[in-house]
Amino acid sequence: MRRFLDSDLFYSFRTSPVAVVSFIVAALLVLSAVFAPLVAPTNPFDPASLNLMNGFTAPMAPNDFTGESFFMGTDDQGRDVFSTILYGMRISLFVGFAAVLFAMVLGIFLGLLSGYVGGWTETIIMRAADVQLTFPSILVAMLIFGVAKGITPVEYRDQMAIWVLILAIGLSDWVQFARVVRGATLVEKSKDYVAAARLIGRSPLTIMLRHIMPNVLSPVLVIATISLALAIIAEATLSFLGVGAPPTQPSLGTLIRIGQGFLFSGEWWILLFPAATLLMLALSVNLLGDWLRDALNPRLK
Amino acid sequence: MSEPVLSIRNVTVDIPTRHGLFQPVRNVSYDIRPGEIRGVVGESGAGKSMTGNAVIGLLDPPARISEGEVWLNGRRIDDLDAEEKRAIRGKEIAMIFQDPLTSLNPLFTVGEQLVETIQLHLGLSAADAKKRAIELLDRVRIPNPEERFDQYPHQFSGGMRQRVVIALALCSEPSVIVADEPTTALDVSIQAQVLDLIKELARERQVGVILVTHDMGVIADTTDQVTVMYSGEVVEQGTTGQILGAPSHEYTKSLIAAVPRPQVKLKRFPQVSYGGRETTFKIEDLARNWTATQKSESGTLLKVDGLTKKFLSKGSLIPSRREYFTAVDNVSFDIKDGEVFGVVGESGSGKSTVARMIATLYDVDGGSASFDGQDITKLDKEGVSAYRRQIQMIFQDPYSSLNPRMKVGDIVTEPLLHHRLLPSGEVKPRVRELLDRVGLASDAHNKYPHEFSGGQRQRISIARALATQPRFLICDEPTSALDVSIQAQILNILKDLQEHLGLTMLFISHDLPVVRQMCDRVGVMRHGKLVEVAETSELFEAPKDPYTRELLSLMPKLEALSDEELKAQNLA
């Protein structure tokens, strides 16, 4: 820990106001999402706690019928918008993290393999990556989502939806990890410590995972952070288009989709607050990723 | 004596860091007179390049000159603003950098770059500038300058490119040239030509030259005056003959004593320690634990016969259309048990490729190599594993040969665990013992490679190589990335290992004096072919092949160096 506090990375973090502020914002959002049951005033998914009479209450104003007042108002069903945002963010973050993790594991492995082994393996993997890149990632995600929906039984659809989302976003995102890892692997492979490991008699798999992988992880970390913001946005987009998280488990994107229906009837808060949360989350994570890229780039030092 | 063109007086450079003020250069003074070459010598980190950069105003902020003055032709230049410094730089002071690859712009022809510089500084018309550029190219002895004028830098070889850089430096008729390690990236034969050229031009045009180098041979061959620097300070300066022949400072003495000499083979390198950097190496203890000293029956450990390696230079789907470059062409030699066999040659001669083929890191395209009677080009998977246990390799670059993300202890443990050489309880003590034996502190195993200097890293490499108790050690330029005093330490370790453990070695180097000190027999390689194999003393005293003779004649002349320390060591 003391070594970390003394490191150049922490120093660069401490002296960058943008990094500190975006870290605080991101941390607050993530923590409040993780501890949503403790933070949220109501549980929006418990039908017993909902009162339809509370529907369309404006923020910070008492309801005409019940006299109750809500920090960010309520939606058409009388659900507290603040609480739905906290619970929705849980889904968004979970899908984002899981999708990036999936893309990262797949991308790192395929990147290491094509960089280290070379030859036909490399050609096949990297051509597949090129083909993948010619499709817009949202389209790929929708395609996977559609196919998955077709083959799962109706009663499991809502449960499966989240996992299909993760798979769909992850599969459309692995290419950049694979490309970066392949490039870094080609550089590391020619270094003498790899030759030394081969001379010891280590197997190619051990050399890839134990020797090369730890040395190619810093650019991966940067892409992962920036990808996280993109994955959260991708999830929101899919949910907004109606192919993502179901209304029974609404993510931020689902909330925005619900909210935009009421925008022109004057209930602006149902859309604004989820959208603003999404913006803050994506922006803070993105800025953190930008800072990390600069801090880890030796050329800018 | 004429007035100095450049005068550096008590210059100190400050770099404020978050760990406090760092002064890489402290209180440095020297003068350069017209036509004089001043060598600035010292080990890496001594502040010699930093001084040069400070003089021409190329310090990267936050580094700055905090004290002292720099005078050029009677004008003080260290306190000028950036714009005025820029005007002086290139016009009155020119620079020659180490790497001729990066100091020319690859997108412009050589001629365009020369003409641009000439027009900028001398304000000539385009036609006159071109005429002058061709004159300059001719002056730095580039053949067919008219034709070469329109070529791009990549069409020039390394030595040619460095000549173009020299021509560029001469464009503006500067009064001082700062040459920062101008020949370090070049082969010996080209180094000699470039140094001769610099010497000649300095005399002819009465230019003062600051020649920054770590190489004592270059100093002895080229310079008139020498400044010796150690950790940011000048320890001694004077005429070259005086400093090299009769050094008075302890550091200079130790530096000169550590330079390998081609004339005579020493048992060990003399080590005159300076600055408390001496570390001990307990070879006898290591020998006691050495169990694998078996001898081969025939007395010949490695027999290489007609070894050939081709690299693909133009790929094609159709095999008959592919073009190959022959890196190693029909090389044959034997290495006897317990012998140190040297391979010398210039860069690109295929010496490293030979080493890597013997280490089974490269596939062999032709010929065979047999180790202890067994053909290593036809080994199966288990055979390769068993063979690799008996050989180990020490690499050139200590910065890339250790995995930066692994602790030193784990690096040395890996071969022990992989080959299951010891019961698990004995691994840790054994690793500490190995690290201790190569002279590293007891807490070394818990640190990462970046916490060690180049020489210490090379010791870690040696510890790792010794972990499997190999019979055969391949050293691929093990000291060419190291300072001369560290080189002496590492070479002593290798000599001791060889002597006490009866290790057989393949020693690859481009440095002839080092080869003279290390090897029993030497093979000379050129363009992938082995041109001569002979006993070391025979090769150095009576070379047969014309190429060997040429290489030997290009060795820096070190007769000027004091051999006082050497004699003292050898008599003792």
The phi, psi pair for B172, rounded to 5°, reads -95, 10
Q: Which of B406, B415, B461 sits opposite A200 (nearest CB)?
A: B415
Residue with tokens 């196919």: A147
Instruction: Tell me which residues of chain A, numbers 188 to 207, contact chain B at a CB-CB cutoff of 8 Å.
Output: 191-193, 195-202
Q: Which residues of chain B have pLDDT under 50?
A: 276-278, 571-572
First to last CA, chain A: 23
Q: For residue B27, give both structure tokens.
A: 């209180």
Question: Which domains, ranges and CATH numbers included, belong to chain B?
Answer: 34-60+80-257 (3.40.50.300), 283-296+335-361+374-555 (3.40.50.300)
Helix/strand number for chain A, H first, E second? 14, 0
CB contact under 8 A, A201 and B385: yes
Residue with tokens 């020369």: B114
Closest chain A residue to B473, measured at CA: A199
Residues B537-544: contacts with CB under 8 Å, at least 24 apart: B537/B265, B540/B262, B540/B512, B540/B516
Instruction: Tell me which residues of chain A, numbers 229 to 258, contact chain B at a CB-CB cutoff of 8 Å.
Output: none
CB contact under 8 A, A195 and B395: yes
Residue with tokens 């005007």: B87
Contact B556, B263 (CB under 8 A): no
The phi, psi pair for B103, rounded to 5°, reads -90, 0
Residue A231 lies in a domain: yes
Interface test with B, best of A200, A212, A218, A221 (most B CBs within 10 A): A200
Q: What is the dihedral of CA B473, B476, B477, B478, to 10 degrees?
A: -40
Element (H, E) at B305: strand B300-314
pLDDT for A178 beyond 90: yes
CA of A90, closest CA in chain B: separation in Å? 35
State the DSSP string of B379-408: --HHHHHHHHHHEEEE-S-TTTSS-TTS-H
CA–CA separation, B477 and B396 (whole Å): 5
If you ran DSSP here, which 8-state letter would residue B241 be given?
A: H
pLDDT for A242 beyond 80: no
Pairing, β B208-213 against β B20-32: unpaired
State the DSSP string of B395-443: -S-TTTSS-TTS-HHHHHHHHHHHTT-S-HHHHHHHHHHHHHHTT--TT
ipTM above 0.85, yes or no: no
Cβ contacts of residue B473 below 8 Å, gap of 6+?
Answer: B391, B392, B393, B394, B465, B494, B497, B503, B504, B505, B506
pLDDT of residue B571: 44
> Looking at the complex, does the CB of residue B396 fall below 8 Å from at least one CB of chain A?
yes
pLDDT for A98 beyond 90: yes
Residue A45 lies in a domain: no
Closest chain A residue to B407, measured at CA: A211
Cβ contacts of residue B437 below 8 Å, gap of 6+?
Answer: B281, B282, B283, B285, B286, B463, B466
Q: Which of B389, B395, B403 sits opposite A201 (nearest CB)?
A: B389
Residue A286 lies in a domain: yes
Residue with tokens 């490269």: B362
CA–CA separation, B513 and A271 (whole Å): 79
Other C-beta atoms closer than 10 Å to the C-beta of B481 total 20
Better-scored residue on pLDDT, A269 or A6: A269
Pairing, β B472-476 against β B391-394: parallel
Q: For residue B339, give both structure tokens.
A: 């012998």
pLDDT of residue A119: 87
Interface test with A, best of B379, B380, B400 (most A CBs within 10 A): B400
Contact B290, B469 (CB under 8 A): yes
At residue B108, the 3 state secondary structure works out as: coil
Contact B178, B49 (CB under 8 A): no
Cα A154–chain centre separation: 27
Other C-beta atoms closer than 10 Å to the C-beta of B22 total 12
* CATH (domain of A27): 1.10.3720.10
Q: Where does residue A164 rank: exposed (0-12), middle (13-18), buried (19+ CB within 10 A)?
A: buried
CB contact under 8 A, B391 and A199: yes
CA–CA separation, B336 and B295 (whole Å): 10
State the DSSP string of B343-367: EE--TTSSHHHHHHHHTTSS--SEE
Cβ contacts of residue A246 below 8 Å, gap of 6+?
Answer: A157, A158, A161, A254
Other C-beta atoms closer than 10 Å to the C-beta of A105 total 13
Interface test with B, best of A199, A211, A218 (most B CBs within 10 A): A199
Nearest Cα to A245, choosing from A261, A234, A230, A229? A234
Number of domains in chain A: 1
Q: Where does residue B80 rank: exposed (0-12), middle (13-18), buried (19+ CB within 10 A)?
A: middle
CB contact under 8 A, B415 and A193: no
Q: For residue A267, give both structure tokens.
A: 């209930």
Cα A271–chain centre separation: 21
pLDDT of residue B280: 53
If you ran DSSP here, which 8-state letter would residue B262 be given?
A: S
CA–CA separation, B437 and B286 (whole Å): 7
CB contact under 8 A, A201 and B384: yes
Helix/strand number for chain B, H first, E second? 21, 20
At residue B41, the 3 state secondary structure works out as: strand
Contact B281, B433 (CB under 8 A): no
* Inter-chain CB pairs, A–B, below 8 Å: 55
Nearest Cα to B263, choosing from B558, B572, B16? B558
pLDDT of residue B187: 77
pLDDT of residue B342: 92
* CA-to-CA separations, B507 to B340, B366, B494, in angstroms, rounded: 7, 23, 10
CB contact under 8 A, B395 and A198: no
Q: Is the dihedral of CA A10, A14, A16, A22 positive or negative?
A: positive
> Looking at the complex, does the CB of residue A10 fall below 8 Å from at least one CB of chain B?
no
CA of B465, closest CA in chain A: separation in Å? 9
Contact B561, B220 (CB under 8 A): yes
Element (H, E) at B170: helix B158-170
Cβ contacts of residue A297 below 8 Å, gap of 6+?
Answer: none
Better-scored residue on pLDDT, A63 or A13: A13
CA–CA separation, A79 and A73 (whole Å): 8
CB contact under 8 A, A195 and B356: yes
Residue with tokens 């490309």: A179
Q: Which chain B residues have a beta carbon less than 8 Å from that of A198?
A: 361
Edge-to-edge strand list for the sheet holding B391-394 = B391-394, B472-476, B504-509, B340-344, B521-526, B529-535
pLDDT for A69 beyond 90: no
CA–CA separation, B417 and B421 (whole Å): 7
Whether residue B106 is preceded by a cis peptide bond, meaning omega within 30 degrees of 0, is no
* Residue range A137-148: mean pLDDT, rounded: 81
Predicted TM-score (pTM) of the model is: 0.78
Q: Is the dihedral of CA A180, A186, A191, A192 positive or negative?
A: positive
pLDDT of residue B418: 86
> Looking at the complex, does the CB of residue B405 fall below 8 Å from at least one CB of chain A?
yes
Residues B276-279: contacts with CB under 8 Å, at least 24 apart: B277/B485, B279/B439, B279/B440, B279/B489
Contact B330, B275 (CB under 8 A): no
Q: Which domain holds residue A176?
A: 2-34+86-300
Across chain A, what does the average pLDDT equal?
84
Nearest Cα to B211, choosing from B382, B79, B37? B37
pLDDT of residue B572: 39
SS3 for A120-136, per residue?
A: HHHHHHHHHHHHHHHCC
At residue A118, the 3 state secondary structure works out as: coil
CA–CA separation, B527 and B372 (whole Å): 28
If you ran DSSP here, which 8-state letter would residue B378 be given?
A: G
List alpha helices for B230-347, DSSP H.
Answer: 240-245, 250-257, 283-289
Residue with tokens 């789907």: B317
Q: Which of B18, B359, B400 sits opposite A191 (nearest CB)?
A: B400
pLDDT of residue B220: 85
CB contact under 8 A, A192 and B396: yes
